[in-house]
Structure 1
Amino acid sequence: MAKNPNAYKLIAQNKKAYHDYFIEETFEAGIVLVGTEVKSIRQGSGSVKESFIRIKDGEAFIYNMHINPYDKGNIFNKEPLRTRKLLLHKKEINKLVGEVSTKGMTIVPLKVYIKGSLVKVEIGLARGKKLHDKRDDIAKKDMRRANEREFKIKNI
């Protein structure tokens, strides 16, 4: 039985990013990890809630991404919040640099997942939301939930 090459196992998701930002475009990036970090991620322990991405000297780095130390890793474990390099094509990095230089744009990590045998990070080019935009989104979600609830009651 062949596995689906597009299948992936979600490790961590940054739901707050969708609440705080308009995601304009997404990119898939590899991440440079050591062996114990990969094992820890395969166990499902990682977080991108407080993390952010900066581009420095033509390379992308993710800061504050938390990966729990591997249980059986002893001396080979690295610091949980260390800065890690992201693997992107030069053309993608140049596009991100150009977009971020415009006012109000930033790069946020959206999710971490395992695709095949590789650990990937989905990053998004984002524009910050204002308070009224957030309120509009919450009102739309509430309306959608109410409609779904009403539809479910009618069809029972």
Structure 2
Amino acid sequence: MKPKADNLLAQNKKARHDYTIVDTYEAGIALTGTEIKSVRDGKINLRDGYARIQNGEAWLENVHISPYKEGNQFNADPLRRRKLLLHKKEIAKLQQALEQQGFTLVPLKMYLKHGYAKLLIGIAQGKHNYDKRESLKKKDQQREVARALRAGQR
């Protein structure tokens, strides 16, 4: 059995389709006890999430972490804001990038690293519909080439 790469917990595949990712950063995330248990179970949805810089702090918003089923009263709100743990220099770089027109911070994937939940966030620029169609065409062409190569090897 092949081990999971980076202990991947959740991935936002739609982000790479809707945005052009310019740069990525690894951030820690402040979670409560029941939230980390839910995250380890893979009960997380990054699809509609985004990050924001406010008062020199990075915040993750609109990411749904399902309540832990044995958490009872200790469960937090599934859509609450969560603080991202980054260095001040990284936050300053992100702030500078976000001041440019058309850029946003998008969560790409969440994984475990040395027992801690980490979030890969990307500085992203929105794609137009024609760019999305072009990237789908390229992906299909690469798939066809790979298929032809495999058929030629047999």
> What TM-score results when the alignment is normalised by the length of structure 1?
0.93
Is 1:119–2:107 an aligned residue pair? Answer: no
SS, match of residue 119 in structure 1: strand
Find the counterpart in structure 2 of residue 77 from structure 1. 75
Is 1:144–2:147 an aligned residue pair? Answer: no
SS, match of residue 8 in structure 1: helix
Gap regions ≥5 residues in structure 1: 1-6
Find the counterpart in structure 1 of residue 95 from structure 2. 97
- The count of aligned residue pairs is 150
Find the counterpart in structure 2 of residue 4 from structure 1. none
In structure 2, C-alpha distance between the alignment counterparts of 1:149 and 1:74, rounded to whole Å: 50
> What TM-score results when the alignment is normalised by the length of structure 2?
0.94
Gap regions ≥5 residues in structure 2: none
In structure 1, C-alpha distance between the alignment counterparts of 2:102 and 2:80, rounded to whole Å: 27
* Matched residue type, 1:48: L
Cα deviation, residue 116, structure 1:
1.2
* Matched residue type, 1:147: V
Segments of 4+ moved more than 3 angstroms: none
- CA offsets per residue over residues 38-91 of structure 1, 9 Å max, x none? 111111211101111111111111111111111111111111111111011110
Cα deviation, residue 8, structure 1:
2.6
Q: What value does the CA root-mean-square deviation take over the aligned residues?
A: 1.0
SS, match of residue 16 in structure 2: helix
